[in-house]
A = this chain, B = another copy of it.
Amino acid sequence: MSLPLRVKLVDVGPRDGLQNEKQMVPAAVKIELVQRLQNAGLKEIEVTSFVSPKWVPQMADASEVMRGIRRQSGVRYSVLTPNMKGFEAAIAAPRAEWPDEIVVFGAASEAFSQRNINCSIAESIERFRPVVEAARAHGIDVRGAMSCTVGCPYEGEIAPERVGMLAGLMKGIGVQRVDVADTIGVGTPRKVRRAMEATLQHYDIDHVSGHFHDTYGQALANTLASLEMGVWNFQSSVAGLGGCPYAKGATGNVASEDVVYLLDGMGIETGIDLDKLIDAGQFISDHLQRKPNSRAATAILAKRAG
């Protein structure tokens, strides 16, 4: 068991966290959130999504947000571009406003693929193929988000073989790294390890990341299980932004603050200042008029107030 010495955390709050938010968040607030995250030491931020505003109205300001962020050297900015139209919109801006990385997303569950992106897994891969080619031709990196790698709201448990199959398809079209996402948070350490192992048949350890949801409180146990396999890339959402569309009122994305508390406590380097991260979480939570959905943030804010 050799734990990594450092971890790279991608904060997906501005995109994955906010995308299902009912109240429209102004672009200026999203830009400020990105600013605060990079000030806290995040080295990669999932900023926005170039998708149809009909499907995701919250992301209609994608270009405005990408234009507005004040980039810092050494920080990478990623965006979702699920199809060529999205990719073309992402690179319609001057080169300085292009993302460093685009994200395509496929599911390990056929039913989820159908319901979430209206096509089969195989069709989704064919849809991504030109996007990946175009991105690589433009010098933009490509990450593949693999959803439902442990369980699916429609199909139940997902066999690791299907995760492996999806990873293989992603690899086949030139996706450079993949996220093993437990979209509905039903994963526990042994199941997550099996999904990781299936993925590691196609990608090396440096190109696989863990994306856990805390719906059932299991995200940090799954993070530990992944760390023990040598995984050192993870995704999380400041203030636990995101919720869970499949269980109303339940937690969604694991809070970045809780992950950083874990890593700090284990002496694993992240480069992130937990206090500044908590401030960033409080900033967006205040805007949304709710409390941060992070146990570490809650405890630390209580101590600050105390």
Contacts and interface: CB of A to CB of B under 8 A. Distances in A.
A190 B262 CA distance: 10
Interface in A187-226: 187-191, 214-218, 220-221, 223-225
A10 to B, nearest CB: 19
A215 B262 contact: no
Interface in A237-271: 244, 246-251, 255, 258, 261-262, 264-267
Nearest to A225: B224
A265 B295 contact: no
A296 interface: yes
Tell which of A191, A225, A250, A303 has the most Cβ of chain B within 10 Å.
Answer: A250
A106 interface: no
A302 interface: yes
A218 B300 CA distance: 14
Contact of A261 (B217, B262, B300): B217
A164 interface: no
A1 interface: yes
In the assembly, how many copies of this chain are there?
A: 2
A294 interface: yes
Nearest to A151: B265
A160 interface: no
Interface string A50-67: 000000000000000000
A90 to B, nearest CB: 34
A214 to B, nearest CB: 6
A299 interface: yes
A190 B266 contact: yes
Interface string A169-199: 0000000000000000111111100000000
A298 interface: yes
A306 interface: yes
Most chain B CB neighbours (cut-off 10 Å) among A224, A246, A249, A306 = A224
10 contacts: A1-B1, A188-B261, A190-B267, A216-B258, A216-B296, A217-B255, A220-B220, A221-B224, A244-B299, A247-B306
Interface of A: 1, 185-191, 214-218, 220-221, 223-225, 244, 246-251, 255, 258, 261-262, 264-267, 294-296, 298-300, 302-303, 305-306
Given A186-B265, A215-B295, A218-B261, 6 more contacts: A217-B220, A217-B295, A221-B224, A224-B225, A247-B299, A248-B306
